[in-house]
Amino acid sequence: MAVCRTARSPAAILKGRKMLIARLLIAAASLLLFSANPEESRADAVKIVSMEIGAGLQTASGEGLYAEILSAVLRQSGQQYDYRVYPFKRAMRFFFEREADCIWALDSALVATFGDAGTDLIDSEIFFVSKQYIFMAPGTPAILSLGDLAGKRVGILNGSNLEGMLRDVSADVLYVADQDTKVRMLMNKRLDAIGGWLPDILTSFHVQGAAPTSFNPTVVLGSSNVGIVCHASPHTLLFLEAINPIIKTFVRSRDFKVILRSHGTKLP
């Protein structure tokens, strides 16, 4: 069957070339961020792990908000690194067992709540502070206090710090498999409320094409610094010494704001 092709204008050709170059740059950045396998990493590379968080946030393939933020800093550092994303428990195990030098997107205080990571933890400069709130089903007003959740179906992830607080106010606590499912169930009103961290939760709404639902910014249920946590060693001390000034500059930069906006989110 004959196919009719329309001649492309010079402007269209130039636009197509620019798009191709952009795709190649993104692919190159991904190759810099992830080694094909551990054996290909340089012996002196700092090994960094992190956890799968959800679509738009951080996936096993190294895509999403958190991967982009870390990549932007590491690429400027000139340091050798090997960065990998795993399911949460596996990432924590690698760090606790010292198969990884550092873990990304937590702080040492939060890491310590998940197990015995040792007494030698050191933190990078803070990228930002993440805060936890209650988000209500569409059309439902924000809570004034946790007591407003009595008898309500509240979705949380397994192991959430909210479980005890919610049971104390007689909420109907329901475990949800992952962040994406949690948001989807809220939008479908199969849940009355969910716990969510800013800026993560706004990206999860964005990925599903949904407007963020109501929450009360004065009812903060938790907060955590977001940074890189390492086991102290001469190797990691040099690494953090190199990247800390870059972090301090990056978090004030337009590039950081552009990354946040591209993922439909902002800082709390």
Give burial (CB, 10 Å; 0-12/13-18/19+) of 65. Answer: buried
- Mean pLDDT lowest for which of 24-33, 68-77, 118-127, 164-173? 24-33
Q: How far is CA 185 from the centre of its chain?
A: 21
Bridging pattern class, strands 222-231 and 121-123: antiparallel
Quote the distance between the C-alpha of residue 63 and its chain's center.
10
Q: Distance of CA 232 to CAs 69, 147, 246, Å?
A: 23, 43, 20
Residue 41: pLDDT band by 50, 70, 90 thresholds?
low
Question: What architecture (CATH level 2) is domain 130-222?
Answer: 3-Layer(aba) Sandwich (3.40)
Does 130-222 match 22-129+225-262 at the fold level? yes
Average pLDDT over residues 192-206: 97
Mean per-residue pLDDT, 86-96: 95
Segment 49-69 shows an average pLDDT of 95
CATH for 22-129+225-262 is: 3.40.190.10
Closest CA to 34 of 95, 90, 85, 108: 85
Domain boundaries, the chain: 22-129+225-262, 130-222
Kindly give, in sequence order, each residue whose CB lies less than 8 Å from that of residue 156, ignoring residues fewer than 6 positions away. Answer: 162, 163, 166, 173, 174, 175, 176, 182, 194, 195
Read off the pLDDT of residues 132-165 as tens digits, 9 standing for 90 and up.
999 999 999 999 999 999 999 999 998 788 999 9
**pLDDT of 169 higher than 70:** yes
